[in-house]
């Protein structure tokens, strides 16, 4: 033992206290509501598993769960790989690199409303892309009004917004790749591509797993992109609704069905926790230092 | 040649990244006779008058000062608190470590919007509604930052610490003197993210605060969209004002992302 | 990660804690009564009136404090973005301000949950001071009781784009005056690839068409007339008279399309004219203004009100202030500033609302004021956000041909009736 048994808990105390008090406790409170028929303004009788039975029979839930899952599966690979490539591109100090890095980061800090505006301008029925398509003799593509295309368009926006954000995490992690590994590989005569795969990628594995987990969670929980591109709805007839959109629309406002929304949130949490445990398992080796 | 390729790549990504920012900026300097809803990146009649008008409408400085206070405290608490927790998770062996890691990971999974009202009631119970402390507390040590720093500490070679242990350094000394200086890059990222989230946060400060004197900049700027009056040029100028400090901060900090174990750039 | 919130009113997922359910908020009325002394401090919360109307509101507060010595009114103005979340949080915690500015769709759920003071009980003489249709808007249908002082009203003309009308060979001075003409002209515009409308019909549009919306505690807009109305829209949609985005658009989105000159016609409010002037000057140059399209002879009306929560510790002062803010004199002054209309029974008699001076603004104003005498708040107060969304989604399915209009309306009505409980 290199420390007293309670030392780690002293290190953890502030962080755990904040998480338990301001996230976990309110969350447990919410779980209780999942078993009631609470409305937004109080009330709430214990109704057992009624909300979950209703969910199983609610076609909207299945549509939303399917869309969320699809969304996650599609955005994770590009979000793990593309920002890494950009980070590798942006890691070397060349003149003006600061400007480039900052510019790459602007989508992350741009106001969501503006992001929605510009992508709508690009993709809507009379948008820029469609005028090009029409000029080339094609017919307009319903990027935002077909439920499948709307999902794909939103994924593009999600990936686009994530590039700068995950690039920053990768940049920081790249710094932790021991320099001598690269040098050793160079002595062995490995070219830049080989070194990327045999040195950089293995060294970044914990970060890649973290980013995979983060982008999976955020992908499954997607809300803003679809919301902004579909004018605040889940696409025509609600066919592009995702889990969080469904939760929002059920629980929203003073007329919200809070009990049912809580049940949906709880299920969302359980699904995400399952996903997380899988990634942790994949990451086991790193985990046991 | 290699450099030319690199710049070609950088420029390509620049082109797809910068659009919204340019749009926002173009709208913010449009003159009174130009259409706002028709996209146009080069205003015919550019003016910076909209910026002055924002300051007339909203007391930008006093709101910005509140935001700055909240964001700075948030940076401090996150860097310290998350580093401590991250260090314990990564470098100390103890029973319950996995449990603690799950608490943090689980916190990331909880959607903030779902606990908004519950959280408000907790804050009210603590008597911290309508205070800036109440604004700061929930995000003061973000679970994501704990995990980021945990990963950074994991990357440290074990030998360094083993030597220190032999020299009789205790956990706190190893943390402050050895581990912390080695993860500067990640600390800078954590500082940046903490500042950014705090600076941008809208819903929570709005719900917690009720006195206008305590409002943060994002809430203040929401007044630009009045009930019967709004001018999109002012809204755009407002968002630029809000985003500018973040851009400057990023520009200043970006070169430090790289201060890690290697201290400096790696030859690519 | 992305904790940034946009359009936060909608993004706010309200979850009451079980604590609130146990009645932290509802039983606090006993320590305060409506018949107490008008004195002491109260808080007044408005919906996004700063900074444009700061002087006006402060003037009203000063006048009230002068009239009632010993009172102090603290004014907090909340931005529109997130207003709902704010009210939600405060309602759950039982900490609503003493006087709150709410439209009927917010006052209704609060009143139904027993959180608002009943004005019919507490101030028996107030009712005649207000327009009857405005007072009704704050009643709980079927149960009686009024839970808000009507404040400002609005109704609007129809705006249309003269240039687009001309482009399609339509007479720009003959906009549609009824739904039949609307369809004819829309089909003609569609032939020239110009879309007339940016939205599928809202519940209020059904009302304007003469559809019976609500009867005997149930929604009824799936009656034959409603089906007929949806069929009209289906024909227009198939011809391309609605932009494709109409299926998912909310009011704001549709307004933006009109300003970008992608649609030819849009319902609006008197103050929209100012918005066109600042945000879309080239549309403003071509703007046409006409009467609302209605089959019932009545226009649609929107309104805001002022309510007093039962949790207020100083109900007497709060009620007195709510009544003061919404009295004829204060309302007329406010209406003149903000291009809206007073809800007091005599407010509309002011010459400002009855005489034109030749400007577009005055023309819109006088027409709207006349319209308001018979206007109806067609949106039933029970019609919640969730119901609005259900209607929108069912109409989208009908437009796309996934369901017959009848089926879509039946489904919408069933969902609305389920949500009613």
Helix (H, G, I), strand (E, B) or coil at C99: strand
CA–CA gap between residue B93 and residue B99 (Å, rounded): 13
Residue A163: closest CA among A243, A228, A103? A103
Instruction: Specify the CATH number for the domain of residue B146.
Output: 1.10.3720.10
Tell whether domain C35-154+302-374 is in CATH 3.30.1490.100. no
pLDDT tier, B46 (very low <50, low <70, confident <90, very high otherwise): confident
Distance CA C155, CA C335 (A): 13
pLDDT of residue B228: 65
Let me know: does A218 contact C2? Beta carbons within 8 Å: yes
Contact of C317 with C40, CB cutoff 8 Å: yes
Of A12, A175, A178, the CB nearest to B257: A175
- Tell me how close the Cα of B54 comes to any Cα of chain C, in angstroms: 11
pLDDT at A94: 84
* Residues in A touching C23 (Cβ below 8 Å): 42
Residues of C in contact with A258 (CB under 8 A): 14-16
* pLDDT single digits (tens) C249-287: 777 778 888 988 999 999 988 778 888 888 888 899 999
B3: chain A residues, CB-CB within 8 Å: 94
Q: Is B11 part of a structural domain of the chain?
A: yes
Mean pLDDT for the stretch of residues B225-244:
80
Percent of chain B with pLDDT over 90: 38
Same domain, B212 and B185: yes
Q: Are residues B217 and B105 in the same domain?
A: yes
H or E, element range at B116: helix B112-125
CA–CA distance, A80 with C2 (Å, rounded to integer): 17
Q: Which of C10, C21, C92, C109 to mutate to test the interface with A (most CBs of A within 10 A)?
A: C21
Give the whole-angstrom CA distance, residue C395 versus residue C212. Answer: 17
| Per-residue confidence (pLDDT) for residue C99, from 0 to 100 | 97
Distance (Å) from the alpha carbon of B243 to chain A's nearest alpha carbon: 7
Q: Chain C within 8 Å of A245 (Cβ-Cβ)?
A: no
Contact indicator for B195, B74 with CB cutoff of 8 Å? yes
Q: Helix, strand, or coil here: A151?
A: helix
Does residue B176 lie within any of the structural domains? yes
CA atoms lying within 13 Å on the CB side of residue A279:
21
Cα separations in angstroms, B126 against A20, A22, A178, B129, B137: 15, 11, 46, 8, 11
Q: Is C169 on the interface with A (CB under 8 A)?
A: no
pLDDT of B178-223, one tens digit each? 899 888 888 999 999 999 999 988 889 999 998 888 999 988 888 8
Burial class (CB within 10 angstroms; exposed 0-12, middle 13-18, buried 19+) of C152 = buried
* C-contacting residues in A 69-108 (Cβ below 8 Å): none
A51: left (phi over 0), alpha (psi -120 to 50) or beta: alpha
Distance of alpha carbon A155 from its chain centroid, rounded? 10
Q: Could you say which residues from 58 to 97 on chain A have a Cβ atom under 8 Å away from some Cβ of chain B?
A: 86, 88-94, 97
What sign does the dihedral C253-C254-C257-C259 (CA atoms) show?
negative
Q: Tell me, what's the pLDDT at A17?
A: 96
Asked whether the predicted pLDDT for residue C408 surpasses 50, the reply is yes
Which of chain B's residues have a Cβ under 8 Å away from the Cβ of A163? Answer: 13, 17
ipTM of the complex: 0.85
Are both B17 and B139 inside the same structural domain?
no
| pLDDT band for position B226 (cuts 50, 70, 90) | low
Shortest CA distance from B167: residue in chain A: A2
Give the containing element (helix H, strand E) for C47. strand C40-47
Say if C3 is an interface residue toward chain A (CB within 8 Å).
no
User: Which ranges constitute the DSSP H helices of chain B?
Assistant: 2-17, 19-28, 49-57, 60-91, 97-109, 112-125, 132-136, 143-154, 158-166, 171-173, 180-182, 184-200, 203-208, 217-222, 232-253
Cβ partners under 8 Å of residue C202, min gap 6 = C251, C379, C388, C391
What the block records as the tokens of B75 is 């940076």
Residue C197 pLDDT greater than 90, yes or no:
yes
Whole-number Å distance between alpha carbons of A13 and A9: 6
- Is the Cβ pair A23, B138 closer than 8 Å? yes
Which of A11, A25, A117 is facing B87, going by the closest CB pair? A11
Closest CA to A72 of A230, A249, A271: A271
Judged by CB atoms closer than 8 Å, whether chains meet at C389 and A233 is answered as: yes
Question: C-contacting residues of A 180-239, CB under 8 Å?
Answer: 214, 218, 223-224, 227-228, 230-238
Chain B, nearest residue to C88 by Cα: B117
Q: Running DSSP on this structure, what letter comes out for residue A223? A: -
Which candidate, A72, A109, A105, places its Cα nearest to that of A222? A72
**R_g of chain A, CA atoms, integer Å:** 23
pLDDT value for C17? 36
- pLDDT at site C402: 93
CB B239 within 8 A of CB B27: no
- How many whole angstroms separate alpha carbon C236 and alpha carbon C229? 11
Which residue spans within B3-47 are E strands per DSSP?
none
Question: From CA C63, how far away is CA C344, in angstroms rounded?
Answer: 19
Calculate the alpha carbon distances from B262 to A83, A174, A203, C289, C296 in Å.
Answer: 21, 9, 13, 69, 77
Could you give phi then psi for residue C294, rounded to 5 degrees? Answer: -150, 145
Give CA separation, C376 vs B37, C158, C292, in Å: 32, 16, 13
Which of A27, A33, A28, A38 has its CA nearest to residue A256? Answer: A38
Whether B225 and C48 lie within 8 Å, measured CB to CB: yes
Please tell me whether residue A233 adopts helix, strand or coil conformation: coil
Q: In 3-state terms, what secondary structure has residue B100?
A: helix
**Where is average pLDDT lowest: B32-36, B165-169, C183-187?**
B32-36
Least confident of A67-71, B229-233, C55-59: B229-233
Cα Rg of chain B, angstroms: 23
Contact of A236 with A145, CB cutoff 8 Å: yes
Q: Both B39 and B81 in a single domain? A: no
Chain A residues closer than 8 Å to B262 by CB: 175-179
Question: From CA C198, how far away is CA C266, in angstroms rounded?
Answer: 7
Is residue B223 less than 8 Å (CB to CB) from chain C?
yes
Secondary structure percentages of chain A, helix, strand, coil, to 5: 75, 0, 25
| Cross-chain residue pair C78–B229, CB shorter than 8 Å | no
Against chain A, the chains showing at least 3 CB pairs within 8 Å are: B, C
Q: Chain C: nearest CA to B199, how far in angstroms?
A: 9
Q: Which residues of A touch C115 (CB under 8 A)?
A: 41
Q: Tally the residues of chain B.
A: 268
> d(Cα C146, Cα C137) in Å, to the nearest integer?
8
User: From CA A124, how far away is CA C27, in angstroms rounded?
Assistant: 51
The string of DSSP letters for C269-316 reads: -TTHHHHHHHH-HHHHTTEEEEPPP-SSS--B-EEEEEE-BTT-S-HH
B70, part of any domain: yes
Quick: pLDDT tens for B141-189.
Answer: 999 999 999 988 988 888 888 888 888 889 999 999 889 988 888 899 9
- The β-bridge partners of C43 are C74
For residue C403, the chain A residue with the least C-alpha distance is A237
Where in chain C are all domains bearing CATH 3.40.190.10? 35-154+302-374, 158-298+384-420
Of C65, C94, C87, C106, nearest to C317 by C-alpha is C65
| Domain that includes residue B10, residue range | 1-47
Q: Please indicate, yes or no, whether residues B211 and B237 belong to a single structural domain of this protein.
A: yes
pLDDT exceeds 70 at position C23: no
Q: How many domains does chain B have?
A: 2
Chain A CB contacts of C11 under 8 Å are: 223-224, 227, 248
Instruction: Report yes or no: B58 and C51 within 8 Å, Cβ to Cβ.
Output: yes
Report H helices in C123-178: 132-136, 162-167
With a cut of 80, say whether residue C10 has pLDDT above it: no
**Residue B53 is assigned to a structural domain of this protein:** no
The structure tokens listed for C340 are: 């809206």
pLDDT tens string C296-322: 989 999 899 999 999 999 999 999 999
Residues B18, B67 share a domain:
no
How far CA B226 is from CA of B57, B232, C50, in Å, comes to: 11, 11, 7
Q: Tell which B residues from 167 to 226 touch A, by Cβ distance under 8 Å.
A: 170-172, 175, 183, 185-186, 188-189, 192-193, 196, 200
Asked if residue B264 has pLDDT above 80, the reply is: no
C158-298+384-420 placed in CATH 3.40.640.10: no
The CA-to-CA distance between both ends of chain B, in Å, stands at 15
Percentage of chain A lying above the pLDDT 90 cut:
44
For chain B, list the contacting chains (3+ Cβ pairs, <8 Å). Answer: A, C
- Domain co-membership, B129 together with B219: yes
Residues B76 and B37 in one domain: no
- Residue B178: its chain A contacts at CB < 8 A? none
Name which CATH class applies to A48-287: mainly alpha
User: Quick one: pLDDT at residue B156?
Assistant: 82
Q: Are A37 and A259 in contact (CB under 8 A)?
A: yes
Predicted local confidence at residue C275, as pLDDT: 83
Residue B171 structure tokens: 């956990």
C249, with CB counted inside 10 A (0-12, 13-18, 19+), is buried
Same-domain check for residues B98 and B35: no
> Distance (Å, rounded) from C-alpha B211 to C-alpha B199?
18
C55-81 per-position pLDDT tens digit: 999 999 999 999 999 999 999 999 888
Tokens of C405: 């209009």
């Amino acid at each position: 033992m290199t420390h007293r048994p309670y030392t780690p808990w002293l290190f953890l105390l502030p962080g755990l206290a904040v998480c338990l008090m301001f996230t976990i406790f309110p969350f447990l409170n919410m779980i209780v509501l999942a078993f009631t028929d609470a409305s937004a303004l109080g009330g709430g009788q214990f109704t057992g598993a009624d909300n979950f039975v209703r969910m199983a029979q609610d076609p909207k839930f299945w549509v939303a769960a399917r869309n969320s899952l699809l969304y996650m599966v599609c955005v994770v690979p590009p979000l793990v790989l593309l920002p890494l490539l950009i980070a590798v591109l942006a890691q070397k100090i060349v003149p003006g690199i600061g400007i480039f890095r900052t510019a790459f980061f602007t989508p992350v800090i741009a106001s969501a409303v503006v992001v929605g505006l510009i992508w709508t301008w690009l993709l809507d029925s009379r948008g820029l892309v469609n005028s090009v398509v029409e000029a080339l003799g094609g017919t307009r593509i319903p990027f935002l009004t077909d439920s499948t295309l709307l999902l794909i368009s939103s994924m593009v926006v999600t990936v686009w917004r994530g590039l700068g954000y995950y690039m920053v995490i990768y940049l920081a992690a790249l710094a932790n790749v021991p320099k001598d590994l690269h040098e050793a590989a160079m002595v062995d005569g490995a070219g830049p591509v080989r070194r990327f795969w045999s040195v950089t990628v293995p060294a970044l594995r914990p970060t890649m797993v973290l980013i995979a987990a983060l982008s999976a969670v955020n992908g499954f929980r997607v809300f803003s992109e679809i919301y902004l591109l579909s004018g605040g709805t889940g696409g025509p007839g609600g066919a592009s609704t995702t889990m969080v959109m469904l939760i929002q629309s059920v629980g929203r406002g003073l007329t919200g069905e809070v009990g049912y929304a809580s049940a949906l949130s709880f299920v969302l949490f359980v699904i995400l926790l399952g996903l997380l445990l899988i990634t942790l398992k994949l990451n086991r080796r790193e985990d046991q230092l | 040649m290699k450099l030319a390729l690199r710049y070609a790549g950088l420029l390509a990504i620049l082109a797809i990244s910068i659009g919204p920012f340019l749009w926002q900026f173009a709208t913010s300097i449009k003159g009174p006779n130009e259409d706002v809803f028709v996209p146009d990146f080069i205003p015919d009649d550019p003016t910076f008058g909209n910026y002055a008008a924002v300051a007339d409408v909203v007391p930008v400085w006093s709101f910005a000062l509140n935001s700055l206070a909240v964001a700075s405290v948030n940076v401090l608490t996150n860097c310290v608190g998350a580093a401590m927790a991250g260090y314990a998770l990564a470098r100390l062996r103890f029973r319950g470590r996995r449990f603690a890691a799950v608490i943090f990971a689980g916190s990331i999974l909880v959607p903030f919007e779902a606990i908004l009202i519950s959280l408000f009631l907790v804050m009210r119970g603590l008597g911290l509604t309508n205070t800036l402390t109440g604004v700061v507390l929930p995000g003061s040590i973000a679970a994501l930052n704990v995990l980021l720093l945990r990963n950074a500490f994991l990357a440290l070679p074990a030998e360094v610490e083993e030597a220190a242990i032999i020299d009789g350094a205790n956990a706190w000394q190893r943390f402050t003197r050895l581990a912390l200086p080695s993860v500067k890059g990640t600390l800078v990222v954590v500082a940046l993210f903490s500042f950014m989230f705090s600076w941008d946060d809208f819903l929570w400060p709005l719900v917690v605060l009720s006195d206008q004197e305590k409002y943060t900049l994002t809430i203040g700027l929401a007044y630009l969209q009045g009930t019967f009056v709004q001018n999109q040029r002012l809204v755009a100028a407002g968002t630029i004002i809000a985003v500018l400090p973040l851009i400057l901060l990023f520009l200043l900090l970006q070169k430090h992302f790289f201060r890690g174990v290697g201290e400096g750039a790696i030859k690519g | 990660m992305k904790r940034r919130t946009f359009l936060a009113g909608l993004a706010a997922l309200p979850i009451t804690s079980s604590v609130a359910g146990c009645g932290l908020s509802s039983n606090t009325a006993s320590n305060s009564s409506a018949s107490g002394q008008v004195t002491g401090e109260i808080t007044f919360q408005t919906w996004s009136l700063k900074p444009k109307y700061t002087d006006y509101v402060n003037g009203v507060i000063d006048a009230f404090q002068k009239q009632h010595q010993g009172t102090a009114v603290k004014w907090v103005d909340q931005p529109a973005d997130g207003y709902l979340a704010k009210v939600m949080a405060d309602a759950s915690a039982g900490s609503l301000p003493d006087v709150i500015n709410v439209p009927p769709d917010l006052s209704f759920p609060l009143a139904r949950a027993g959180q608002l003071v009943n004005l019919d009980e507490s101030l028996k003489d107030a009712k005649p001071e207000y327009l009857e249709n405005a007072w009704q808007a704050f009643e709980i249908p079927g149960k009686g009781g009024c839970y808000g002082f009507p404040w400002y009203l609005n109704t609007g003309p129809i705006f249309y784009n003269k240039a687009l009308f001309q482009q399609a060979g339509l007479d720009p001075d003959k906009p549609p005056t009824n739904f039949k003409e609307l369809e004819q002209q829309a089909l003609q515009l569609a032939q020239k690839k110009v879309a007339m409308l940016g939205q599928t019909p809202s519940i209020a549009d059904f009302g304007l068409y003469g559809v019976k919306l609500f009867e005997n505690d149930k929604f009824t807009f799936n009656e034959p007339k409603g089906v007929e109305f949806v069929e009209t829209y289906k024909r227009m949609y198939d011809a391309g008279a609605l932009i494709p985005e109409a299926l998912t658009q909310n009011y704001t989105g549709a307004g933006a399309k009109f300003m970008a000159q992608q649609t030819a016609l849009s319902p609006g409010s008197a103050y929209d004219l100012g918005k066109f002037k600042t945000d879309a000057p080239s549309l403003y140059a071509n703007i046409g203004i006409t009467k609302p399209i209605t089959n019932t002879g009545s226009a649609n009306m929107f309104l805001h009100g002022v309510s007093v929560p039962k949790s207020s510790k100083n109900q007497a002062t709060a009620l007195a202030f709510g009544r003061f803010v919404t009295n004829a004199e204060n309302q007329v002054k406010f209406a003149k500033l903000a291009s809206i209309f007073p809800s007091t029974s005599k407010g509309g008699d002011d010459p400002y609302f009855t005489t034109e001076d030749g400007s577009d603004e005055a023309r819109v104003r006088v027409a709207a004021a006349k319209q308001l005498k018979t206007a109806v708040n067609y949106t039933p107060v029970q019609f919640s956000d969730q119901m609005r969304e259900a209607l929108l989604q069912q109409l989208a399915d009908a437009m796309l041909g996934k369901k017959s209009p009848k089926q879509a309306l039946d489904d919408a009505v069933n969902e609305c009736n389920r949500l009613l409980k």
